[in-house]
Amino acid sequence: MNRGRSIAVAVFAFLAPLWARSQIGSTPPFARNAFTGECPARVTVQDREQELYLVRVEKNFVYFRPVGAPAGTLSALRLDMIRSAYFPFELEEYAIFEATIQRRWETAANLMVQTLEPTLPFLMLPENNAVEPVLDAGLYLMRAAAAATRGTQGNLTPAAVSLYERALRLFSHASKAEWSAAREQALLRAAMCQAACRRFDQAEKLLTAARLPDPGDGDYGLYHLGRASLLFAQGRALDAANAVALSIAFENKDIRVFPDALLLSARAHEEIMDYYRARDIYYEVARLFGATEWGEIALERLADIMENGLTEEKEKANIAKVFFGSAEDLNAVVRDFLNKRKPPTRPPSEEESTDQKETP
């Protein structure tokens, strides 16, 4: 499989994580009889499976209503007695998939959260099937927040803050799943939300709580992207560029991490006025991810750098060019690339689309 096809497959995998993740064929009968405020679950206690209506978790106990018991009847189980939990929810997978294809990230998240909401207080239960979808919904909300700030020179809008807060809530619940490797992702994504909202102390605490992964670990790229995001939000662009370089160098090209790391690297280099490196990275992102939001943002920034002549002065030879013997005129390459691709008009965010529809 060539690189371009690999990227296309990866983008599809990001847009529709639920398409191949089947939950259940149909809702079991007991789940239809849950009262408001209850979460139906099939729980394995030691070696015995039970169908229960979960109500709350308190002081290492989970309180539940037994199937068939009248409303208000509660029993309790110690959390350490539970071996696994299965929540019989059904996601509107086709509608979610359609929303992601159309980049309606908030809509996709809303479709998921309305179904997953009852499971949130119980994500600490071992081996449950809701943690991964909750992480997906949080990531969609982060995408929606990023879209809400596009075209504002990075200024945080009230709509973006609200979306980051909603994502943070989901990640905070998912971070209680200490049994799951996904807990690290939840902590790191929560830190990125806190950094985006300029709550730097809270972001630092979350990064500190996360495990420092070794190179090659699945979360290595995300960890250093989270660290770099905090540094960049603090105005430490040079430190951010150095930190995100670790993410790019060792990242396994996860579509949920790699393009964001590349864009942050380009933004950091642009901030420290290293326009040559910013140009090079934006060019690679625009070339590899042209049909995505990452590619469109890169194309916009690349066009701006070239239109303002920020790389017209001949670049001083650097160690990489000396080592590899490259004499390619990258300005000419980029101009040719831009001539073939017109920077796209920024599509309206979901909030802007709604406002336009409501305008008489």
Residue 75 CB partners (closer than 8 Å, separation 6+): 63, 64, 65, 66
pLDDT digits (tens, 9 = 90+) for 143-187: 999 999 987 766 789 999 999 999 999 999 999 999 999 999 999
Task: Read off the pLDDT of residues 289-308 as tens digits, 9 standing for 90 and up.
Answer: 988 999 999 999 999 999 99
Contact in structure between 293 and 15 (CB atoms under 8 Å) = no
Whether 265 is in a domain gets the answer no
Question: What digits encode the pLDDT tens for the residues 225-236?
Answer: 999 999 999 999
Q: Which domain holds residue 286?
A: 273-346
Would 151 be classed as within a structural domain?
no
Please give the Cα distance from 231 to 246 (Å, whole number): 14
pLDDT tens digit sequence for 236-263: 999 999 999 999 998 778 899 999 999 9
Q: What is the pTM of this model?
A: 0.87
Looking at 31, 56, 86, the residue that finishes a domain is 86
The pLDDT value given to residue 158: 94
Residue 148 lies in a domain: no
In a domain, 8, yes or no: no
Q: What percent of the chain has a predicted confidence (pLDDT) above 90?
A: 75
Residue 257 and residue 184: Cα distance in Å, rounded?
Answer: 14
Quick check: is 231 in a domain? no
Q: Report the distance separating Cα 65 and Cα 67, nearest Å.
A: 6
Domain boundary pick from 53, 86, 119: 86
Q: How far is residue 14's CA from residue 143's CA, in Å, rounded to a whole number?
A: 12
- Percent pLDDT > 70 in the chain is 84
Render pLDDT for 187-207 as a digit per residue (tens, 0 to 9). 999 999 999 999 999 999 999
32, 56, 86 - which closes a domain:
86
- What is the model's pLDDT at position 27? 78
- Flag whether 34 is in a domain: no
317 found inside a domain: yes
Residue 57: which H helix or E strand, with range?
strand 48-58
Residue 345 is given by DSSP the state P
Structural domain count of the chain: 2
Work out the pLDDT band at 323, boundaries 50, 70, 90: very low
The mean pLDDT of 215-230, rounded to a whole number, is: 94
What is the residue whose two structure tokens read 């430190």?
Answer: 239
Burial level of 132, CB count in 10 A (0-12/13-18/19+)? Answer: middle
Spatial distance between the Cα atoms of 331 and 305, rounded to a whole number of angstroms: 10
Query: Would 59 be classed as within a structural domain?
Result: yes
Length of the chain: 360
